[in-house]
Amino acid sequence: MAVEEGTPWKNLGVIGLRLVDLMLRYTATAALSWVLVNATLPEEIDILRELLFYLEITGIPSVLICFVYGLASERTDIGFRAPVALLLLLPLWWTIAFPPLLPVLAVGQIVFALGVMRAPFKGPSQLRRLGRAALARCARRGAAPA
C-alpha cells in the first residue's frame, strides 16, 4: 500500500491529533445530548453519572467507528458523513429498553456525524487549506510589480 502525500499515515502525530479532535467534539456533542435528555425527562437523574455511562457504552464505540471509517474512507462531504451517521446508530442498541432516550440520543449522534465531526480525515484541514490559499494570494499581491 503506497502512502500518498495527503494521507495522515505519513505522520503519526497527525493521526493522534485527529483522534483527540474527534474525542473532544464527540464529548461536547454527547454532553449537549445529555443536557437535552435531562431537560426532557420528568424524573431527576444524576446527569454526570449517566453521561459517563453513556460515554463508556456508546461513546467509545462511536469514536472508534468514526475514526476507523474516517481513516479508511476516501470519500468527502455527504458521501462520507451519511454512512457514518447510519453506523453511529448501532451503538445506541441499549436505548431500545429506554424509549424516551432513543430519539434525543439518536438525533445527537446524527448531528455529530452530519455537522460536528470533522470530514474528511485525510489531508490537511479545510481551515489550514484556506489559510494557505489566503497567504499565497497575499504573497502574490505583494510580489507583483507596481
- Quote the pLDDT of residue 2: 44
pLDDT digits (tens, 9 = 90+) for 34-43: 888 878 776 7
3 grid coordinates: 502512502
Domain range summary for the chain, segments of one domain joined by +:
8-143
- Quote the pLDDT of residue 1: 40
Cα–Cα dist 40/103, whole Å: 11
Q: Are 28 and 115 in contact (CB under 8 A)?
A: no
Q: Where are the alpha helices (DSSP H) in the chain?
A: 12-40, 47-54, 60-72, 77-87, 101-111, 126-143
pLDDT digits (tens, 9 = 90+) for 57-110: 999 999 999 988 888 887 777 888 899 999 999 999 888 887 878 888 899 999
10 pLDDT above the threshold of 50: yes
Q: Are 69 and 84 in contact (CB under 8 A)?
A: yes
Cα–Cα dist 76/45, whole Å: 39
- Quote the pLDDT of residue 3: 44
